[in-house]
């Protein structure tokens, strides 16, 4: 009886203490999932304490709370298959950096990827996940690629085409495959997977050809394109790799194709871009640079087709489909660039932290200004009036690509007139050159004005 009374007192005191230290709020804990608890203990005994069957100690509970969080995010895709989750996470449990990355990879992107792997594991796996013994990867993408190859790979698939696992639900991939494949893409809906993209992967790993009749639309994938598609640089995804293959098939060198580094928006315009690539193939690379080709391609896509990245930028939207009949026939890249410069009069991008006009009043009442030259026409006028070379294509290219900028020191006169004095070449936060009429050096007064401007904007003057 005495022991029973003591036990009752103990329970009463424990209740009072809990009320005091919890500010009157009762903590309700959801009952643990017995299957998940089993997974945790398996991960614990296999990863942290081999041949041990002890329960998870308090010091490791925070880690396993994170694992539980990951499990809950993937639970719908697993459909109760805790064994798959165990074997998915088991090789990473002893690699802190990788495990940390996996535990945080439960956003929508990785949930979709995991869901696809689990879906196809039920339909196409040629090896069970429990036999997976990957090499130690520190990067999550390499770890997951290793799992995909273990589960599904009959024959190796080149990385650009294998990348469909990572981009199957991207809008650009969906649009490309909808236009390219001979059969229509399935549209995603509740409970239905957009599986056509992955069927392409399985077709290839099971020994199929990119040129197999009925796979892609007739005439789309030539023998050369099929070859180069799989040869695109490591890291290129399936759609950019296709356009890499088109460029290479039209005779563009690997170096030039790397410089282009650009992907048209639509397969519907394929024949035009093949003609464009043929021009790139015959141009002298010494006269081109990445900015030249890339920017020119984007501008053509906007003005002819009303598509591409520039179509979403306010300052360019007015030029959408301005020249729908534009053709590259009989043109070079340089002549095409000049044509667009004259047609649009496009301005160079502003320089961050420096106003386009800066006034410099003097004690004698004269007002000087330093003005940024904002387009090709302004450069040419400056060069013609001061009789130096700032109007050449070299300076235009640097300004257009953002490598530098050109400024003009002027003395204001009456009725909005001004006298051009010194042309200033500005690089990355430094003044590279100052030239007046026929490349003369600045006078002491002119130099002092430029020095004041440089000091205000924290610019260095290279002597």
Considering all CA atoms of the chain, what is the largest pairwise distance in Å, rounded to the nearest integer? 114
**Are 151 and 125 contacting, i.e. CB atoms less than 8 angstroms apart?**
yes
Two tokens, residue 443: 């006078």
Helices (H), 48-155: 61-78, 82-89, 96-103, 108-124, 140-152
Residue 169 has pLDDT above 90, yes or no: no
Of 194 and 438, which is predicted with more confidence? 438
Average pLDDT of the segment spanning 64-77 = 81
CA–CA dist 156, 175 (Å, integer): 26
Q: What is the DSSP string of 381-443?
A: HHHHHHTSGGGSHHHHHHHHHTS-EEEEEEEE-STT-EEEEEEEEE-SSEEEEEE-GGGPPPP
Q: Which residue has the higher pLDDT, 46 or 241?
A: 241
pLDDT tens, residue by residue, 321-348? 999 999 999 988 878 877 887 777 667 8
Residue at token pair 């929508």? 108
pLDDT tens-place string over residues 102-131:
888 878 888 888 988 998 998 899 999 999
Q: Is the pLDDT of residue 139 over 70?
A: yes
In this structure, of 8-12, 133-137, 278-282, 409-413, the range with the lowest mean pLDDT score is 8-12
- Give the pLDDT confidence score for residue 19 in this predicted structure: 45
| Cα gap 352→160, rounded to integer Å | 37
Cα–Cα distance between 390 and 435 in angstroms, integer? 10
Q: CB–CB of 436/423 below 8 Å?
A: yes
Integer Cα distance of 440 and 463 in angstroms: 15
Interhelix angle 61-78/108-124, nearest 10 degrees: 60
> Is the pLDDT higher at 246 or at 42?
246
pLDDT reported for residue 160: 92
pLDDT, residue 376, reads 80
Instruction: Report the Cα–Cα distance between both ends of the chain, in Å, rounded.
Output: 100
- Is the pLDDT reported for residue 80 higher than 90? no
Judged on CB neighbours under 10 Å (0-12, 13-18, 19+), 463 is exposed
- Given a cut of 90, whether residue 416 has pLDDT beyond it is no
In the chain, the percentage of residues whose pLDDT exceeds 90 is: 35
Give the lowest-confidence range in 83-87, 191-195, 420-424. Answer: 191-195
Confidence bin at 267 (pLDDT 50/70/90):
confident
Q: State the pLDDT confidence band at 3, using cuts at 50, 70 and 90.
A: low
Q: Apex CA 283: angle with CA 256 and CA 228, to 5°?
A: 35
Our measurement of the distance from residue 314's CA atom to the centroid of its chain's CA atoms, rounded to an integer in Å, reads: 21
Q: What token pair was written down for 139? A: 């990067």
Least confident segment among 148-152, 189-193, 336-340: 189-193
**Is residue 449 a contact partner of residue 368, using CB atoms and an 8 Å limit?**
yes
Residue 396's pLDDT band, with cuts at 50, 70 and 90, is confident
Q: Tell me how many degrees the CA angle 434-435-436 measures, rounded to the nearest 5.
A: 135
Report residue 171 CA to chain centroid gap: 14
Cβ pair 452, 445 in contact under 8 A: no
Strands 460-461 and 430-435: parallel
Look at residue 307 and give its three-state secondary structure: coil
Q: What pLDDT was estimated at residue 131?
A: 93
**How many Å apart are CA 208 and CA 190, to the nearest integer?**
31
| pLDDT at 20 (0 to 100) | 42
15-62 tens-digit pLDDT: 544 444 434 443 333 334 445 556 666 666 554 444 445 555 555 667
State residue 424's pLDDT score: 95
Given a cut of 90, whether residue 71 has pLDDT beyond it is no
**Structure tokens that stand for 447 in this block:** 């130099």
Q: Distance between CA atoms of 358 and 423, rounded to whole angstroms?
A: 14
Q: Residue 222 is encoded by which pair of tokens? A: 């030539």
What's the average model confidence in pLDDT over 67-87? Answer: 83
Express each pLDDT in 341-372 by its tens digit.
777 766 788 888 899 999 998 888 889 999 99
Helix (H, G, I), strand (E, B) or coil at 181: strand
pLDDT attached to residue 229: 94
pLDDT at 463 over 60: yes
**Degrees to nearest 5, angle at CA 375 with 424 and 383:** 50
* CA Rg value for the chain: 33
Dihedral of alpha carbons 269, 271, 275, 278, sign:
positive
Which one has a higher pLDDT value, 18 or 208?
Answer: 208
Q: Where is average pLDDT lowest: 163-172, 244-253, 382-391?
A: 163-172
Q: Are 239 and 178 in contact (CB under 8 A)?
A: no
Per-state percent for the chain, helix, strand, coil, to nearest 5: 55, 10, 35
């Amino acid at each position: 009886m005495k022991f029973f009374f003591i036990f009752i007192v103990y329970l009463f005191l424990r209740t009072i203490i809990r009320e005091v230290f919890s500010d009157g709020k009762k903590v309700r804990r959801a009952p643990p999932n017995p299957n998940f608890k089993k997974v945790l203990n398996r991960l614990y005994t296999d990863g942290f304490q081999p041949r041990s069957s002890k329960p998870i100690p308090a010091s490791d509970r925070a880690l396993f709370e994170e694992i539980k969080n990951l499990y809950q995010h993937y639970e719908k895709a697993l459909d109760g298959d805790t064994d798959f989750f165990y074997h998915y996470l088991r090789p990473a449990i002893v690699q802190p950096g990788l495990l940390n990355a996996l535990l945080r990879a439960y956003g929508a992107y990785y949930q979709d990827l995991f869901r696809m792997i689990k879906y196809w594991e039920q339909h196409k796996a040629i090896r069970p996940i429990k036999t997976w013994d990957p090499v130690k990867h520190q990067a999550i993408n390499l770890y997951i690629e290793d799992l995909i190859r273990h589960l599904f790979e009959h024959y190796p698939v080149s990385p650009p085409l294998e990348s469909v696992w990572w981009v199957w639900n991207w809008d650009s991939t969906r649009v490309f495959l909808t236009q390219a494949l001979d059969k229509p893409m399935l549209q995603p809906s509740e409970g239905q997977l957009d599986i056509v993209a992955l069927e392409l992967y399985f077709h290839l790993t099971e020994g199929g050809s990119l040129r197999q009749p009925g796979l892609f639309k007739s005439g789309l994938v030539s023998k050369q394109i099929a070859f180069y598609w799989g040869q695109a640089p490591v890291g290129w995804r399936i759609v950019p790799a296709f356009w890499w293959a088109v460029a290479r098939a039209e005779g563009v060198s690997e170096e030039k194709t790397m410089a282009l580094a650009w992907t048209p928006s639509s397969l519907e315009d394929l024949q035009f871009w093949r003609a464009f690539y043929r021009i790139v193939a015959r141009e002298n690379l010494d006269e081109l640079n990445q900015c030249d080709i890339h920017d020119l391609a984007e501008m053509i896509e906007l003005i002819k087709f009303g598509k591409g990245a520039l179509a979403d930028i306010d300052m360019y939207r007015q030029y959408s489909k301005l020249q729908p009949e534009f053709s590259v026939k009989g043109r070079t890249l340089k002549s095409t660039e000049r044509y667009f410069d004259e047609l649009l009069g496009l301005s160079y991008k502003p320089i961050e932290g420096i106003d386009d006009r800066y006034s410099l009043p003097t004690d004698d009442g004269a007002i000087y200004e330093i003005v940024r030259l904002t387009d090709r026409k302004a450069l040419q006028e400056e060069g013609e009036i001061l009789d130096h070379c700032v109007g050449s294509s070299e300076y235009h290219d640097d300004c257009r690509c953002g490598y530098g900028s050109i400024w003009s020191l002027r003395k204001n006169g009456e009725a909005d007139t001004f006298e051009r004095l010194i042309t200033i070449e500005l690089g990355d936060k430094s003044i590279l050159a100052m030239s007046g009429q026929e490349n003369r050096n600045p006078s002491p007064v002119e130099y002092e004005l430029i020095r004041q401007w440089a000091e205000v904007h924290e610019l260095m003057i290279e002597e």
